[in-house]
Structure 1
Amino acid sequence: MELLKDLELVEVAVEDGKAELTFLDEENMEIRKVNINKKKYDRDKNKWFEDSEQAEKAEKIAEDEFGKSFDDLEDAVGQRKDIYAYDKFNSLFEVQMIEKFDKDQEGLIFQTTISEITEDNVGIHIRFEYEGDKYESKMTYSDYLEAKKQFIVDPIKKQKQYEKFETKFKLPISEKEQLIGEQITVEVKVAFGKFSYAEIKPIPKKK
């Protein structure tokens, strides 16, 4: 990551819930594009979907960073911002990257600790580190509806995942914060010969 200071916003395009902001790096004579999205991206399904929480975040970024509504970001041309430049994208903020295991890592087993547990309208995300990088194991309980272009929670699946969570971690989801720092064993698996994922083994009962 490289922090590029005081770049001028020279162009903005807003379309279909996505704002593409183009900043000019005059020192290197390069452009840096930053995207602000009202939709959320699911890496596993390679799809964007409607998400009210993400839409609120996008509006807040537009207001807090540029003093404009999302739809009026074109009026922010001329403002200057510091840009975080990563290998594959640029951002207004420093980003916590979530890596994915490669298929050739199938069968890898290691021990680590839980660093974070979050929950959204897709499922439960249990995050941990391996060799200095951040990864996650997901317990999903939503289905993507093409007609609505968004993930919709399946309450029966959600309850089953809550039960699996409690069985695996020996605590209900409501007490997930107590699991931060808990040691876990993780195995890398591959589904259908192409989708790699991290499976967390059940935590042994404390004596």
Structure 2
Amino acid sequence: MENLREDLELIEVVYENENKKATLTFLDEEKGQVLEVAFNKQIYDNDKNEYIDDEEKAKKVDEWCKEYFETTFDKLSDCVGVKKDVYCYDRFNSLWESVVVEKFDKEDEGKIFETTIKSIEDDGKGVHIYFEHEGKLYESKMMYADYIEVKKQWFTNPQKKERQYKKFKDKFGVEVKDAEKIVGKNIMVEVKVAFKKFTYAEIKKPKWA
């Protein structure tokens, strides 16, 4: 596997953002490179243009620490010297193989292309329709969860969920629970920009729906 670097030594752990983010640096002597892996308990808020606390993400990071280093987040520095496999991607590195969902650039606004539905996932926060373009994976999202600042968590909005489910059926002709039936079908996608800064992919209503 081209993006897999095996048996790299952890040489440094640096804490940032009030100890809510740990950057783990691994040494690849063979290629003469250092690779950084981020364990960040916060998530990025596009509206605020900053990282914010998130209880769910923090819990995941604690689980990663236990699974990959058998330790706690605050004691990752004690693991310097440990060797791990590292997966390298264009924008980040990871200790596990990841499915990378790309984002369109603002310069892509107005681009229209045909592709096929690769998969559809309802993750409890929204419905994600995945497709490929020029060899890379992208998604169109129909979100129905709201982020509650005081709780630092995502919560399902039942009314919004019902509206999104209806929009899904109106557009694709099937219920979300039957989404598997339309995987592999052709779709037309247009790249749009909201509020002059957020790119998103809009799937046109297919003729087959």
The interval holding the TM-score normalised by the smaller chain is 0.7 to 0.9
Aligned-partner residue type, residue 198 of structure 2:
F
TM-score, L = length of structure 2:
0.81
Show the counterpart of 1:168: 171
Show the counterpart of 2:34: 31
Instruction: Check whether the contact 1:121–1:151 (CA below 8 A) recurs between aligned residues.
Output: no
Instruction: Check whether the contact 2:128–2:142 (CA below 8 A) recurs between aligned residues.
Output: yes
Q: 2:160 aligns with which of 132, 157, 180?
A: 157
Q: 2:87 aligns with which of 84, 89, 101?
A: 84
Aligned-partner residue type, residue 22 of structure 1:
T
Q: Which runs of 5+ in 1 are unaligned?
A: none
Kindly state the Cα deviation for residue 183 of structure 1 after the two structures are TM-superposed. Answer: 1.7
Show the counterpart of 1:11: 12
Instruction: Check whether the contact 2:10–2:84 (CA below 8 A) recurs between aligned residues.
Output: yes
The range that moved more, 135-144 or 65-74, is 65-74
Q: Using the aligned pairs only, state the percent identity.
A: 50
Kindly state the Cα deviation for residue 189 of structure 1 after the two structures are TM-superposed. Answer: 1.6
TM-score, L = length of structure 1:
0.82
Corresponding residue SS for 2:39: strand
Q: Which runs of 5+ in 2 are unaligned?
A: none
Work out whether 1:65 is the aligned partner of 2:68: yes
Aligned-partner residue type, residue 145 of structure 2:
S
Instruction: Check whether the contact 1:98–1:134 (CA below 8 A) recurs between aligned residues.
Output: yes
Kindly state the Cα deviation for residue 134 of structure 1 after the two structures are TM-superposed. Answer: 0.8
Change (3 A) 1:155 1:118: same
Kindly state the Cα deviation for residue 135 of structure 1 after the two structures are TM-superposed. Answer: 0.7
Instruction: Check whether the contact 2:55–2:152 (CA below 8 A) recurs between aligned residues.
Output: no
Change (3 A) 1:137 1:45: farther
Give the Cα separation in 1 of the matches to 2:79 and 2:129.
37
Work out whether 1:137 is the aligned partner of 2:140: yes
Aligned-partner residue type, residue 4 of structure 1:
R
Give the superposed CA RMSD: 2.7
Give the Cα separation in 1 of the matches to 2:144 and 2:48.
14
Change (3 A) 1:36 1:155: same
Kindly state the Cα deviation for residue 91 of structure 1 after the two structures are TM-superposed. Answer: 1.4
Instruction: Check whether the contact 2:106–2:193 (CA below 8 A) recurs between aligned residues.
Output: yes
Give the Cα separation in 1 of the matches to 2:36 and 2:7.
14
